[in-house]
Structure 1
Amino acid sequence: MRLLRVELLRFRSRALIRWGAAGAVLIGLLFVFGAYQSSAPVPQAEIDAARADYDEAVADWEENGAEYTAECEEEEAAEKENDPTVDFGCEDGGPGEWSDWIGGTSSFSDVGLELVDVAGVVYLMVALVLGVTFSAAEMSTGAISSWLTFEPRRRRVYWSKLAAAAIGVLPIVAVALGVVVGGAWLAFTLNDAQGSMTTGAWAGLAWVLARTLLGAAAFAALGVALGVLTRSTAGALGLVFAWLVVVEMIFGTMEFFGGLKRFLLAVNTQAWVSGRATYYTETCVASDDRGIDCTYAEHVVPMTQGGLVLAVLVVVVCVTAAVTFRRRDIA
């Protein structure tokens, strides 16, 4: 416990951690600004311009609507010779209703949970970076060698650092999430766009916040382990960046990846924070008359799988770093 208290003090005193905490709050303020922008009423000039366009479209449809419909039905009939399932929706033509032309503003009840979902994933990445900077700096400068002269039991030193990072990021992420939720609610309130938040909606929001805090602790521990393994802040963050670009963004979008997409880090992180995540697979077959036909299937990754995949990742990396730290020459 004395080691843990010392490591918590060192975590709180590190300049990069303080800058990271300030950055987390700044990110929260950016989310609040976006919430205010999305809930602001549509300017009257835009309403007037949209109304003029709508009136012009209505007048054109009243004059030429029958001709447009006939042309549509003719093209549809020609296309049905190749594909009987074609439906151009000719009967649904026309300018539609005025409400379809002028979009309404969003409300907190509509987008609040989605906003917190996105912020939660961002703050998991912030926790990972804070964990990396906490351990990698000591490794790269050799300060860990001096520390081991005071406490030579490496296992205790390593696990106390992991615990300190996991605990230390909690108030940072909690305050940042408080800024996002409280600030977004205030922004929507100022624009009179709170919507109708039910008890169930608030409960769902609370669960997202709880899972984000738990995930932040795990990602901070993962960051410490990566810092120990690479012994460099740039190396650890470069490894993370390479994984995200090469595996998640390049290979993860290729169809040969197939069913392995459900194990991507981004998908499972989203599933854990949001409660579920979706991804799509494409299946293409040769067609005699149309060349290639492709169909898309939606797949759902539940929260349970997301949590298990992240837990396995964190445990494997942390244990590997523990073994490496015990056996590797520090100097």
Structure 2
Amino acid sequence: MRNDWKQIQPFASPPQKKKYNRRKTSVRFVRPPPKRKRSSSSSSSSSDEKALPPKKGRASGTMLKELLKQGSRILQLAASKIDQLAPTVTVAASSETTQYLERLEQLLKTHQDQTIVEHKSMGTKIDKLTLKVDAVSTRLNQVEEKLKENKMFSQLKEEFAKQSSRWDTLQQEIKDLQDKVEAIEMTQLVSVVEALHRRLDEVASQPTTEQERVSSAPAEPSPEVERILRQKIETERELKEVRKAMREVNDPIEREWQNDQGAGHSVRTTDELKERRRRLQSRETRLEQELRDLHCRIEKARTTTSHHQRDHRTSARERSQQTRKRRDSRSTSHGRKERKHKEEAREKRRDSATISDDSEQD
């Protein structure tokens, strides 16, 4: 390549002869400095003589100058002769130069094609980037709109402060309830409940004397009345067993509640006991209803015998029903209310304990 370029260089403008500015050399004579007047004093003459160079040295300096001038003149003449004698270079166009030019054209075309392809690929990439930028800009606009729609940090802070104050009030109320529950004398309540149970058992064990007197009045009771009486005795016996089982279930529940054990197995056992107590309560209510139905049936069967006995029975039945209602209302409602209050107190206590644990964890 370098040699080719050297061959192409002659196609440029032909080299011109260098023109040198030939200056005419002329010998200049230096005028010697004027002589100084000698002073009368010997001291001044001695100092001037010391300052000036010797005569021999001054003559040698002028000679050197002349020699240098002559040497420069000779060199200039030699250079002009060399320029005149240098031949003019003329090179004709050859096949190598044309091949080189064609090769250069091919290289330029290939380079141009490559640049065009790269420009096109860059254009496609720019189009893709513009699409992505548009998508990103739309996404950013959506995010800005959502941020504008959302609440500010100050508003959220105010709401959080309100919620925290509400939680504080709830915790304070729960603590007050716990204090009230702890202030209740549980031993006294348990003793009262046991006394009520004993009283209810005594009332249930006592026979309805008036009813039995009325039922035993006829000399020869009908077989239907006898069957109803047997059924009544069986239901009363079953009711006693149910109430006894209820006492057996209530005692461990109350004992465990007093101990306030919160283990997993104790909770499971209490749940089972509660479920059993619910079943017994439903059975008790069913038996009481059966007893009431039996009493009604007995009364209806015996009223058919005579009007006199019917009047007597109606008065006795009214009295017995009133006493029974009082007894049932006292026994069932009071016992149920007590049990209900106990269960509600236990549930509140457990809920307060769970809420306090959750608040401590938070």
TM-score, normalising length: structure 2 = 0.23
Choose between structure 1 and 2: higher strand proportion.
1
| TM-score (ref. length: structure 1) | 0.24
Q: Which has more radius of gyration?
A: 2
Q: Quick check: which one's helix share is greater?
A: 2
Q: Which has the higher contact order (CA 8 A, sep 6+)?
A: 1
